[in-house]
Each structure stands twice: as C-alpha cells, then as structure tokens.
Amino acid sequence: MLETRPAPAQPDSFAATAARLKARRQQRRRLTDLLAYAVLIVIALIMLYPFYWTLITSFEPTGNIYEAKILPRAVGIRNYAEMWKGTTVPFWRLILNSLIICTLGVSLTVTLATLAAYPLAKMRFPGRDLIFYAILALMVLPNESGLIVNYITTIKLGLLQQTNPVIDAIRQYMAVVLPGLASIVGLFLLRQAYLGIPLELIEAARIDGASELTIWRRIMLPLATPTIAAFAILEFVAYWNSFLWARIMLPDKNLLPLSAGLLELSGTFSTNSRAVMAGAVITIIPILIVFAFGQKYFLKGLEGAVKG
C-alpha cells in the first residue's frame, strides 16, 4: 500500500504527459474545428442567401423590392396566388409542359441507355469494339455546332410544322427531348454497372432458355438498379432545368417548360418581378425534393459520370 505511491511514479508521469498531450491535441482539434465551421458558415451564407432572399421577397406583397434583408418586411401569398391563377405566366400550362418533357425525356433516355449498354457489356458480336470506340470518340469530340445543326435537323424533320393543335404539341415535345435521348454518359455508366454483374448468372439463364430480352429485364435491370436510379435522377434534373434548346426552338410559347417560360416572361412582365420570384421558388422545389430523396445516388452518379 505504501509502495504503490513511489512505484508507479514513472508510469504515472507518463500517463500525465500523455493526458496533457491528448488534452492539447483535443484543444487544437476543437480550435481547427471552430475555424473550419467559421469558414464553412461564411461560404454557406454566400451560397444560400440568394435563394433565401428570393424566397422571403417572393412572400412580400409590396415594398422596396431589391432591398437586402434578413426577414421579410411583410408576409403574404399574393405573388403565389398570382402564379396559381396564371395572371403573370400561364403557370399550369408550363408545369404540365415540364412534367411531360421530364417524363418523356427521363423514361426514354433511361430505356435507350439500359438497352444499348447490354450488348456492349455482355454479348459478343462483330463490330462491338468498333461501335464502342466510335461512341467514345464522340464523347471526346467537341460538338460546338450541335445547337445549330440540331435546329436545322429539327426543322427538316418537320417537327415544327403547324397543322393540327394536338399533333403539333406532340411533335414539339418530341423536338424538345429528341436531341438528348442518346446519352453517351448514361451508356458508359450502365455499361460499367453491367460489367460488374457475374457472367455465370447470365449464362445460367441462357442455358435455361431465357431470351436476351428476359435476361436484360430480369437480371441486368434489377442488379443495376442503383446506377439506373442515379442516372434517372441526373436526367430528371437535366430535363427539368433545360431551357435553352426549348427556348431557341419552340415557336409556340405555350409549350415551353417552366424554367424557359419563366425566363421568357420575366422580360415581358418585368413590372411584376415578385410573381417571377414566386415562380423561381416553385421551379426549384421539385429539384430539392428529388435531391433530398436521391442525394446518395445522385452524388455517386455524378462522380461516376466524370470518372467513367
């Protein structure tokens, strides 16, 4: 009992030193954390304040519109009511257009890429490597005249002809989505995902007499679901946000998607910026919802898109 004091004196001093070191390291860590938070908060403010400012201003019924503020001067839903009623912008028509364009675009793009990637990853046929490298070259080749030539092609294909309102609408929706349907990035992402699926699985199915279409639907698609989900989210965001092509091409302003329509009408109705702000807020919401639910896939898909 008496010995216990002097005997562990050395280890005790070691322990004390270790504790002191640990405390110092912890303190330094806390300090760097604090600094990191400070920097992150400043950058986050710069990133988010424009959105926040637009949100609160869109709720103000009147006042000095461009003024910087932290809280809205007054809160009302007049601007949203105006969007809802379509007095500033044919709001519901634009939403409908966006939904049609997104549904058509995403479903067709994903279908085409999931189909085309299958033989490139898992079948043997003459010309496979040639096709693969030709597509690879297209990805590297610059496509500066894409906008111009695609515009000419769209006209030559007769997609902008005006005959019957219903057929015109269908043709023009197709004209909006067609140039984006063959996604090279999507093809690569999916080929990459398919390559990871064990060949034994496919060959067992072939021996059991399954057709290639069945193998694609029953084996490839389910096993590539995470990649397909990531790709579908990427495509949804792309189609929802697309405005340039539609705005250049569509003769009928009633067929524009929401973001293009908003831009188109922000010029015409510059006197009513608050309603346009409400429209901008509404345009962002679906993206944030999709992003919130699919964030994990989304970021993974983006990484793959650039790495692949």
Partner 1 sequence: MTTTPRRVSRREQHRVGGTGAKVTARNTLIAYAFLLPFLILLVIYHTWPVIFGTYLAFTKYNIISPPQWVGLANFRELMADEQFWSGLTNSLKYILIVPVIQIVALLVALLVNRPMKGIGFFRTAFYVPVVTSFAVVGLIWNWMYQQEGPVNAVLGFLGLHRGGSFLNNPATALYAVMFVTLWKGIGYYMVLYLAGLQSISPELEEAATIDGASRPQVFWNITLPGLRPTILVCSLLSTISAIKVFEEIYVMTQGGPAGSTYSALFYTYSRAFQDFQYGLAAAAGIIIAVISIIFGLINFRLTRGGKADA
Closer to partner 1 by Cβ: residue 12 or 303: 303
Closer to partner 1 by Cβ: residue 170 or 174: 174
Which of positions 229-258 make contact with partner 1 (CB under 8 A)? 237, 240-244, 248
**Interface with partner 1 by CB under 8 A: which range of 14-22, 158-166, 167-175, 273-281?**
273-281
Using CB under 8 A as the binding rule, whether residue 283 contacts partner 1 is answered as yes
Using CB under 8 A as the binding rule, whether residue 42 contacts partner 1 is answered as no
Q: For the CA atoms of 245, 287, 98, 96, what is the dihedral angle to 10 degrees?
A: -170
Which of positions 213-232 make contact with partner 1 (CB under 8 A)? 216
- From 2, 47, 71, 166, residue interacting with partner 1 (rule: CB under 8 A): 47
Residue 13 beta carbon to partner 1: minimum distance, rounded to whole angstroms:
22
Query: What type of residue is 136?
Result: L
Find out whether 301 and 233 touch, Cβ atoms under 8 Å.
yes
Residue 78's alpha-carbon distances to 175, 178, 278, in angstroms, are: 36, 38, 10
Using CB under 8 A as the binding rule, whether residue 173 contacts partner 1 is answered as no
Q: How many whole angstroms separate alpha carbon 170 and alpha carbon 258?
A: 17
Which of positions 79-108 make contact with partner 1 (CB under 8 A)? none
- From 27, 204, 254, 293, residue interacting with partner 1 (rule: CB under 8 A): 204
x/- letters, 129..168, toward partner 1 (CB under 8 A): --x---x--x--xxxxxxxxxxxxx-x-------------
- From 1, 2, 4, 64, residue interacting with partner 1 (rule: CB under 8 A): 64
Tokens of 71: 């809280």
Using CB under 8 A as the binding rule, whether residue 48 contacts partner 1 is answered as yes
Closer to partner 1 by Cβ: residue 3 or 144: 144
Using CB under 8 A as the binding rule, whether residue 179 contacts partner 1 is answered as yes
Q: How many whole angstroms separate alpha carbon 124 and alpha carbon 73?
A: 67
Closest to 151 (Cα-Cα) out of 247, 238, 257, 263: 247
Using CB under 8 A as the binding rule, whether residue 18 contacts partner 1 is answered as no
Residue 153 beta carbon to partner 1: minimum distance, rounded to whole angstroms:
6
Closer to partner 1 by Cβ: residue 103 or 241: 241
The residue count for the chain: 308
Using CB under 8 A as the binding rule, whether residue 185 contacts partner 1 is answered as no
